[in-house]
C-alpha cells in the first residue's frame, strides 16, 4: 500500500474510499518521484493515510529445526492470509503492501514507499518511518539488515536495509537538486526510559527531553552532525549501531534492547539554525527501530533482560495507547497522552498528525508466534486508518501580530477544552474512561497490556518474587539496620528494668500458670468501661513508644488516655469483600513477668510501626470477653485480591490492661489510606477491634518485621498463609526474614528475648504469686 499508483502529474488530491474504513478519505497523490508538485502550504491542507506495509520474514533455522509450521501466506501483493489455530476459515488482512519471506531487501525498499517520504522531507515536511512487531520478527533487519558478523565487518550490500538504501537514494537526489542543501543527522536510543546520544563524543549519557512551543518535544544537548557524503553518513550509522544496546534471548540472538531513532535533517543553507547545535529549520526524515514487544515467558528473560523487557513493553504500551486515541473519531476532543513515555514524546510530532508516517509491521510466519502476529496485524489494520495533516515547518522569525493573536485564542480554547474534559473525567470517570479503555484494549494497547499483566503475573512465583523482595530488601536494609539497632537498644534497656523488678520483689505476678487449663481470675469491669464500651486512646510513635509501654508495665494503673488528633470510625469493615487469613497462637493467661515480655515486645512493635500514628482506637470488650481465660495475640492479614493489604498484630485477652490492640502494617501496595482497615474481631472471643490509619512511609520491611515479632512472641516460627511472604519461612534468605541482612542484628533481639525469658523465670522463682499485688484485672471475676 505504501506505493499507491500515482495520479497523473499535477493532479490534485483525489477522493477515494479506504477499503478498511467506512468514511471517504483524501489520499496523497501527485507526488511523483521527481519531486513534490505541491509546496508545503498546499499539502498542509491535505488529509492523508498513514502508509502501512507488512513484512513477513522467512522461517528461521531454529523454527525449522523445531518443526514449526507456517501460519501465514500471501495472496497477491496486498493481502495476507492467516490460518487460524485449530482450523476454520482463513483470516485475511489487507495492507498497502504485503512483503513475504521471498522479498529481497531491495524489493522492500522499492515497495514500501520510503522514497515518497524522502521527497516530502526534501520539501520541508516531517516524515517518520518505523518498524514494529514482536521481538525477532525482523524489524532491525528490515531497517538496517542483519547484525554484523564481526567488529567492523560491514553488512553485505545486498542485505543492507531500508535505511542505507534511502541514504544512498537521498544523497543522489540531493546532488541532482540544483540547489545546495545542508544535511545533518542525529542518532539516539531510548534505553530503560533514558535517552542516550549514540553519536556523542564521549560515552553516551542520559539526556533530558524538553518541550517548547517552537520545537515541540526535543532532546537537549543532542549532537547533530553535519555530513555531506554517503560515506560520512554510513559511518554515523555504524557508530550508532555499534553503540546500541542489544542482547541475546531465546527468540533472538541479537535483540535490540532499546528504541533507536536516527533523524536526517534537510535544510536550505539560507535558513540558518536559530542556535548553534539546534537542528536547522527544514524537513526531516526519522527512522525508528522500535524494540520488539516480548512475552518474557517466551523469551526467557531474567534479571536485567526482564527489566529491559518491562521498560520496552511499558513504552510500547504508551505508544499503543496514543495511537489508539488517535484513531478515536472523537480525537479532537480527547487528550493524547504523549507525555506518558520518552518514546511517545519524541514521536508526538509524527503521530500527532503533523507528519507523514510509514509503518512497517513485521511478523514471524511461525504458528507458534500466531497470537503475537495476530495482535500485530490487528493493530496494523487499525493503524492504517490514522489520518494526518502534514504541515511544512514554519519559518523562524517574528510572526505578524495577527497570527500571534489567533494562536493565543487557539491555545486558550484548547486549554478551556482540556479543563472541561478533565472535569468530565473526574465526574463521569467510570463511563467515559471505561468506554475508552474497552475500546483501546481491542488493539495493540490490549496486546501490550496483556504482556504487562503477564510480566506481573510471572514475577509472582516465589523465586522471582524473592528476587524482587531481595531488591527491595537491599534498598531497605540500611533503614532497617537503624530501626533494629534502636529496637535492640530499647529492649536491652527494658531487659535491665525487667531484671530489676523481680529482685526488688515488687513486680505483681499473675496466679495463673502457663498450663493449658489454669483458671484465671479476671478483673471487674474497670471504671472506664461505660456500658460495655471502653475508650482507649493512645498515641504510638517511636518516641511515644515509652508512653504506650508505661501503662503496660504497670498493671495496677489504669490505661491512660492519650488523646489522638482524630476521631475514627467505630463500626464496619471498609473492605468487607476482602478475605482474611489468620495465624497466631493463643497463649494462656501469662504471669505478670510474661506480660512484661508482651509489653516489651509491644513496645518493640510500636517502634517497628515507625512513625505510625495511632490517633485513637475504640475497644468494645464485651462481658464474655472479660471472662475469657485466655490472652494472646496473633497476626491477621486482610487481603484484597492476590496481595495482602494490611497486616495486623493484635493482642487479646480478658484484661483491659493487656490492651486489646492491633497494629496495622499496610503493605507497600497500600498507600494513602484507601484501604484503611479495621478489624471487627468477628468470631473470636476476646478479639477486639482497633483502628489504625496506614502510614505512607510504611514499607515492605514492616511486613517482615511483623513476622519476626510474631515469631519472637510465639516462640516458634510463624508461617504466613498469604503473600507476600512465601510459605516455609525457614527457607527464606536472612534478608527476607525480618528484613535484615545483618545477621548480628537479627540475632540480638532473639538473644535479648532469651535473656528476658530467663530473667522472667528467675523472677517467678524468686517471687511468690500474690493476689494483693495484682491490679484491677486480678480482682474478682466478673463472670
Ligand X SMILES: Nc1ncnc2c1ncn2[C@@H]1O[C@H](COP(=O)(O)OP(=O)(O)OP(=O)(O)O)[C@@H](O)[C@H]1O
Residues found near ligand X in the complex (CB under 6 A): 57-58, 60, 133, 135-141, 146, 252, 254-256, 291-292, 362
Tell me how far, at minimum, the Cβ of 11 lies from ligand X, in Å. Answer: 35
* Nearer of residues 301 and 388 to ligand X, judged by Cβ: 301
Tell me how far, at minimum, the Cβ of 293 lies from ligand X, in Å. Answer: 8
Tell me how far, at minimum, the Cβ of 153 lies from ligand X, in Å. Answer: 14
Q: What is the 3-class SS of 377-431, one letter each residue?
A: HHHHHHHCCCEECCCCCCCCCCCCHHHHHHHHHHHHHHHHHHHHHHHHHHHCHHH
Say if residues 27 and 13 touch (Cβ distance below 8 Å).
yes
Task: Give the residue closest to ligand X by C-beta.
Answer: 292
Decide: residue 364, CB within 10 A, 0-12 exposed, 13-18 middle, 19+ buried: buried
Tell me how far, at minimum, the Cβ of 73 lies from ligand X, in Å. Answer: 16
Tell me how far, at minimum, the Cβ of 146 lies from ligand X, in Å. Answer: 4
With vertex at residue 763, the alpha carbon angle to CA 762 and CA 768, rounded to the nearest 5 degrees, is 120
**136 assigned binding-site residue:** yes
**135 assigned binding-site residue:** yes
CB proximity list for 639: less than 8 A, separation 6 or greater:
578, 579, 580, 581, 645, 722, 723
* Nearer of residues 255 and 267 to ligand X, judged by Cβ: 255
Residue 438: Cβ within 10 Å count: 10
* Nearer of residues 135 and 388 to ligand X, judged by Cβ: 135
* Nearer of residues 368 and 627 to ligand X, judged by Cβ: 368
Q: What is the 3-class SS of 674-685, one letter each residue?
A: CCCCECCCCCCC
| Strand 194-197 versus strand 182-191 pairing type | antiparallel
**133 assigned binding-site residue:** yes
- In which element (H, E) is residue 362 found? strand 356-363
CB proximity list for 624: less than 8 A, separation 6 or greater:
685
* Nearer of residues 111 and 488 to ligand X, judged by Cβ: 111
Say if residues 142 and 112 touch (Cβ distance below 8 Å).
no
**139 assigned binding-site residue:** yes
> What does the alpha-carbon distance between residue 550 and residue 533 come to, in Å, rounded to a whole number?
23
Tell me how far, at minimum, the Cβ of 139 lies from ligand X, in Å. Answer: 4
* Nearer of residues 224 and 286 to ligand X, judged by Cβ: 286
| Strand 206-207 versus strand 356-363 pairing type | unpaired
> What does the alpha-carbon distance between residue 254 and residue 275 come to, in Å, rounded to a whole number?
38
* Nearer of residues 55 and 521 to ligand X, judged by Cβ: 55
The three three-digit cell numbers of residue 4, written as one number: 499507491
Tell me how far, at minimum, the Cβ of 253 lies from ligand X, in Å. Answer: 6
Distance from the Cα of residue 237 to its chain's centroid: 33
Tell me how far, at minimum, the Cβ of 105 lies from ligand X, in Å. Answer: 8
* Nearer of residues 194 and 580 to ligand X, judged by Cβ: 194
| Strand 126-133 versus strand 283-289 pairing type | parallel
Tell me how far, at minimum, the Cβ of 584 lies from ligand X, in Å. Answer: 50
* Nearer of residues 40 and 58 to ligand X, judged by Cβ: 58
> What does the alpha-carbon distance between residue 170 and residue 240 come to, in Å, rounded to a whole number?
20
Backbone angles phi, psi at 530, to 5 degrees: -115, 120
Annotated binding residues, written as ranges, equal 133-140
Annotated binding residues for ATP, written as ranges, equal 133-140
Amino acid at each position: 500500500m505504501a506505493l499507491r499508483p500515482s495520479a497523473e502529474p499535477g493532479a490534485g488530491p483525489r477522493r477515494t474510499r479506504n477499503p478498511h474504513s467506512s468514511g471517504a478519505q483524501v489520499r496523497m497523490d501527485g507526488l511523483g518521484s521527481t519531486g513534490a508538485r505541491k509546496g508545503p502550504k498546499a499539502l498542509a491542507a491535505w488529509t492523508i493515510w498513514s502508509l502501512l506495509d507488512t513484512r513477513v520474514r522467512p522461517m528461521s533455522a531454529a523454527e525449522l529445526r523445531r518443526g514449526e509450521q507456517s501460519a501465514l501466506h500471501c495472496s497477491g501483493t496486498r493481502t495476507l492470509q492467516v490460518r487460524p489455530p485449530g482450523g476454520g476459515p482463513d483470516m485475511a488482512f489487507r495492507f498497502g503492501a504485503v512483503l513475504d519471506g521471498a522479498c529481497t531487501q531491495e524489493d522492500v525498499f522499492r515497495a514500501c514507499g520510503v522514497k515518497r517520504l524522502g521527497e516530502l522531507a526534501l520539501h520541508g515536511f516531517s516524515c517518520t518511518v518505523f518498524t514494529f512487531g514482536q521481538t525477532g520478527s525482523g524489524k532491525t533487519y528490515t531497517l538496517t539488515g542483519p547484525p554484523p558478523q564481526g567488529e567492523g565487518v560491514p553488512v553485505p550490500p545486498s542485505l543492507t536495509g531500508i535505511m542505507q538504501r534511502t541514504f544512498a537514494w537521498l544523497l543522489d537526489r540531493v546532488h541532482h537538486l540544483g540547489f545546495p542543501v545542508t544535511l545533518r543527522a542525529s542518532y539516539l536510543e531510548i534505553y530503560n526510559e533514558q535517552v542516550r546520544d549514540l553519536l556523542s563524543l564521549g560515552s553516551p549519557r542520559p539526556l533530558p527531553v524538553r518541550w517548547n512551543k517552537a520545537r515541540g518535544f526535543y532532546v537537549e544537548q543532542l549532537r547533530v552532525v553535519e555530513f555531506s557524503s554517503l560515506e560520512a553518513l554510513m559511518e554515523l550509522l555504524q557508530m550508532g549501531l555499534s553503540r546500541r544496546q542489544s542482547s541475546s534471548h531465546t527468540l533472538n540472538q541479537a535483540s535490540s534492547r532499546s528504541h533507536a531513532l536516527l533523524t536526517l535533517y534537510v535544510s536550505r543553507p539560507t535558513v540558518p539554525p536559530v542556535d548553534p547545535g539546534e537542528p536547522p529549520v527544514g524537513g526531516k526524515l526519522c527512522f525508528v527501530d522500535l524494540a520488539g514487544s516480548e512475552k518474557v515467558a517466551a523469551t526467557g528473560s531474567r534479571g536485567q533482560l526482564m527489566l529491559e523487557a518491562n521498560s520496552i513493553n511499558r513504552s510500547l504500551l504508551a505508544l499503543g495507547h496514543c495511537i489508539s486515541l488517535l484513531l478515536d473519531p472523537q480525537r479532537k476532543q480527547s487528550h493524547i497522552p504523549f507525555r506518558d513515555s520518552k518514546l511517545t514524546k519524541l514521536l508526538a510530532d509524527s503521530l500527532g498528525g503533523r507528519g507523514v508516517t510509514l509503518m512497517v509491521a513485521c511478523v514471524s510466519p511461525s504458528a507458534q508466534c500466531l497470537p503475537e502476529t495476530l495482535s500485530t496485524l490487528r493493530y496494523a489494520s487499525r493503524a492504517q486508518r490514522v489520518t494526518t495533516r502534514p504541515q511544512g515547518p514554519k519559518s523562524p522569525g517574528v510572526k505578524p501580530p495577527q497570527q500571534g493573536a489567533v494562536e493565543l485564542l487557539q491555545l486558550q480554547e484548547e486549554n478551556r477544552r482540556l479543563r472541561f474534559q478533565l472535569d468530565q473525567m473526574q465526574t463521569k470517570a467510570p463511563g467515559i474512561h471505561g468506554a475508552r479503555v474497552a475500546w483501546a484494549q481491542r488493539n495493540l494497547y490490549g496486546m501490550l497490556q496483556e504482556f504487562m499483566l503477564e510480566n506481573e503475573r510471572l514475577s509472582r512465583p516465589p523465586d522471582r518474587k524473592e528476587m524482587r523482595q531481595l531488591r527491595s530488601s537491599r534498598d531497605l536494609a540500611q533503614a532497617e539496620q537503624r530501626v533494629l539497632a534502636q529496637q535492640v537498644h530499647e529492649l536491652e534497656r527494658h531487659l535491665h528494668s525487667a531484671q530489676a523488678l523481680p529482685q526488688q520483689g515488687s513486680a505483681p505476678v499473675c496466679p495463673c500458670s502457663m498450663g493449658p487449663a489454669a483458671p484465671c481470675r479476671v478483673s471487674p469491669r474497670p471504671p472506664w468501661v461505660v456500658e460495655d464500651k471502653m475508650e482507649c486512646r493512645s498515641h504510638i510513635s517511636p518516641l511515644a513508644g515509652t508512653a504506650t509501654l508505661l501503662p503496660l508495665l504497670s498493671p495496677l494503673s489504669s490505661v491512660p488516655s492519650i488523646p489522638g488528633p482524630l476521631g475514627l470510625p467505630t463500626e464496619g469493615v471498609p473492605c468487607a469483600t476482602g478475605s482474611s487469613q489468620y495465624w497466631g497462637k493463643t497463649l494462656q493467661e501469662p504471669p505478670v513477668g510474661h506480660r512484661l515480655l508482651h509489653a516489651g515486645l509491644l513496645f518493640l512493635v510500636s517502634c517497628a510501626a515507625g512513625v505510625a500514628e495511632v490517633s485513637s482506637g475504640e475497644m468494645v470488650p464485651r462481658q464474655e470477653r472479660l471472662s475469657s481465660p485466655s490472652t494472646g495475640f496473633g497476626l491477621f492479614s486482610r487481603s484484597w485480591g492476590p496481595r495482602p493489604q494490611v497486616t495486623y498484630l493484635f493482642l487479646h485477652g480478658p484484661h483491659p490492661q493487656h490492651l486489646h490492640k492491633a497494629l496495622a502494617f499496610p503493605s507497600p501496595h497500600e498507600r494513602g489510606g484507601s484501604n484503611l482497615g479495621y478489624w471487627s474481631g468477628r468470631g473470636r472471643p476476646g478479639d477486639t477491634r482497633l483502628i489504625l490509619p496506614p502510614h505512607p512511609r510504611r514499607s515492605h520491611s514492616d511486613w517482615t518485621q511483623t513476622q519476626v515479632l510474631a515469631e519472637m512472641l510465639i516462640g516458634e516460627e510463624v508461617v504466613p498463609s498469604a503473600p507476600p511472604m512465601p510459605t516455609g519461612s525457614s527457607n527464606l534468605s536472612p534478608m527476607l526474614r525480618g528484613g535484615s541482612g545483618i545477621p548480628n542484628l537479627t540475632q540480638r533481639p532473639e538473644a535479648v528475648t532469651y535473656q528476658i525469658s530467663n530473667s522472667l523465670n528467675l523472677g517467678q522463682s524468686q517471687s511468690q504469686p500474690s493476689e494483693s499485688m495484682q491490679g484491677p484485672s486480678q480482682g474478682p471475676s466478673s463472670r
